[in-house]
Chain A
């Protein structure tokens, strides 16, 4: 009658099995959200702040399902338009490749051309992609309050096979250089986050300071497949000038100090806790390779506090880049936001003690684009490449000076032709914008790997740094002054033509119908006129009846 195992042991075994099952099932079918912020000082007295939010939804067999943190609008977008990958960026300002670097993962992935850039690959037969692209641009314009629907016309988008990314013809690329980026684009972007801008790292976004920056770029990146579901990456990269009073000190001997700044100086507020639905919430402070190099040269070891600078508080962890090439590597100080709350907010910052000048690694060539000549016939667009001699440092081959570069640029046809009068924009005399050209160097790779100390969780931001990324740079947007027609000509033509016709027909009718001197002849015939009754008759001349 008694069961083989004793009841308490049986119960414990059952519990263990159940919990394993539940966790295994839960781990596969759970939506995750992580938020991260990376801060980095830049050589020209500015500061870079990079916000990274990742939301992932597990794959589901049916197109409809319940959403917890993952935004339903994005899931519906992916299913309706069969999107495999999509990237949409709104940028204002130009990434200064000379000062801020061109060889690190940040400048490769997050330096975008000014205006709106959208590219997408679809999981559809090639004939249906153009129509789907058109509907996608309209939907995105409604979702993000921008005029992305202008990308539907065939002059605005292109389908490059190898210039942009290698694909089988299901990629479409479009850019709008003159699109303004302002709070109304950030508002719906923030509404896709589970905590919006009310809690967590997104609560730092004080709009006037974001839009006062030298460069700001908000990006949305989607990747979807049947194996891993949908991964949504939302990033906001801002380059700001901290205007703290502390930054204007002069060091006695060696010149001006770099400005000391903290999150309060950049964003006017501190972090008072994480978003409660996020799996992890971290702030990283990156100390670049060249800074580490110089600090090491000065003698002390480059930790969070040393002779040259000191961070505002001790980090929870310091990660050093795994680098096989030379001894120096960048390091990242990590702060976990869940340890802080409203009473003890987090305010990461740096205070400089000694002046330091460093430079960021540039791309192999600085690419610039400009106009030469004038007018439609003798004008030209020129691209210039200036070598930075960086390949010698990396590859150590002094004789070989050939480097492969791929240039992708879209020039609208009407730069060389003429537009119809109603196809001109309302302020046509300003000129037309030609979108940025993209220059890629396929032989160079800008990935960086950091040690993964936590086996259960890997930071998405650091994982994107590890991904293989070819070095790319975008050139400037060009403003081409095209000849515009005289827009008052239609009005002039109508006026002149109507005047001429009126004169012609008027004189013709006069000549045919007017009887001059008829009244006097009638009067003479009748003899003694007693009364004259003059009435206007239908054909507008007066006839007098006696």
Chain B
């Protein structure tokens, strides 16, 4: 006894352990499958009350050629604003139809300015363009919006939004009555855009969408929209042109459009934590300075504009809810984590298992109506028809706990 416990038991012991594991495996599988299904059901539920939890931006410049420098500067100004207020490159799809920064006609290589004072280099050191040059077509634009890509298209070129996303869609270029011109040889029509937005809504690809258009007769482009949750603002109404702001005599072309210039003037005063509302943004446009009427439609949007902060679309600020109890959303991962730890004793196991099983059954009761069917769970449910899956899971957990205790006692 002084030298520790007695000798190691005979060779029959190692053979018994694998046999003991087998009956525990099936309940474990059932437990895992069952715990996955409610959590995935919660995640994939098509509930209208889905919380806003991510922001995306799709910024499109549709004009090619050097004299359309200002459209590129418009898009890059929005890109810079949106990055500064918090949206990362992974959530931004930037489409530029031509290359201005390294264009041979650019006297300032790798630099794009939106003001003749050249204070701000919009191109910076850290720009990522997803679609450029000949890839900016109506087909690719609609594929990005609706999410229907070929299988080889990489993730960085896809709009991977879900039903909790707020999307900012900014388009600039040359446009007219119910169309937007892409690259001088094709056009996007207003009902095409409305159909794409309708598809997006059906596929739950956004919670709220803000469309901002800076072209001539911009308001006609979103006149055909009829999906709920969409807010749209255009730089001019039907019959009006949108004008450029000023000409840079060094670069030789106009460097920014009026609507975008005043939008930026509004945003440069903000930082990530400001709570300026969309209402103040929309009211900051002065028709006499824009030389056109900035028209917005909010009939499809149910929240009042003075309650919506601009960072809901232009930035990325999460609403943080402080709670004292543990987060019950990712219950499956929490359970697995507890099962895999080997240092706890049985009492702790049993207590935690009781709590988690109670929570699980609560969630099951509330989410029962929203359970989606998965092949695996259907098969298992059929097999367990009549029996209470909960008790089987409890038995499985108990067996596992006992096995773990035995193995730790043996290894001491």
Contact = CB atoms under 8 A, between A and B. Distances in A.
B124 A183 contact: yes
Contacts of B108: 208
Contact of B99 (A134, A180, A210): A180
B329 interface: no
Contacts of A183: 101-102, 110, 123-125, 127
A426 B101 contact: no
B156 A207 contact: no
Contact of A184 (B109, B129, B154, B184): B129
Contacts of A182: 99, 101-102, 110, 123
Interface stretch (B130-138, B305-313, B357-365): B130-138
Nearest to A184: B129
Nearest to A205: B125
A154 interface: no
A208 B111 contact: yes
A10 interface: no
A425 interface: yes
A455 B183 CA distance: 58
Interface in B171-186: 183-186
Contacts of B369: none
A445 to B, nearest CB: 36
A134 B109 contact: no
B411 interface: no
A122 B184 CA distance: 40
Given A142-B156, A147-B134, A184 B183 contact: no
Contacts of A141: 154, 157
A74 B409 CA distance: 46
Contacts of B65: 427
Interface in A142-162: 142-143, 145-147, 149-150, 152
B133 A135 contact: no
B15 to A, nearest CB: 30
Contacts, number: 85
B155 interface: yes
Contacts of B132: 145-147, 180, 184
B127 to A, nearest CB: 5
B133 A187 contact: no
Given A147-B133, A180-B132, A183-B101, A211 B110 contact: yes
Nearest to A213: B109
Contacts of B134: 147, 150, 425-426
B128 interface: yes
A204 interface: no
Given A138-B154, A142-B157, A182-B101, A426 B64 contact: yes
Looking at A134, A188, A427, which has the most chain B CB atoms within 10 Å of its CB?
A427
Contact of B102 (A92, A135, A138, A187): A92
B153 interface: yes
A167 B186 CA distance: 43
Contacts of A181: 102
A184 B152 CA distance: 21
Interface string B155-193: 111000000000000000000000000011110000000
A468 B64 CA distance: 45
A431 to B, nearest CB: 14
A187 B125 contact: yes
Nearest to B133: A147
B373 interface: no
Interface in A392-424: none
B126 interface: yes
A182 B125 CA distance: 10
Nearest to B154: A142
Contacts of B133: 147, 179-180
Given A142-B155, A180-B133, A182-B101, A187 B110 contact: no
A207 B110 contact: yes
7 contacts: A92-B102, A145-B130, A180-B132, A182-B110, A187-B126, A208-B111, A212-B109
Interface of A: 92, 134-135, 138-139, 141-143, 145-147, 149-150, 152, 179-184, 187-188, 197, 207-208, 210-212, 425-427, 487
Given A207-B110, A425-B134, 15 more contacts: A139-B154, A142-B157, A143-B156, A145-B132, A180-B99, A182-B99, A182-B102, A183-B102, A183-B123, A184-B129, A188-B128, A210-B110, A211-B110, A212-B109, A212-B110
Interface of B: 64-65, 99, 101-103, 108-111, 123-130, 132-135, 152-157, 183-186
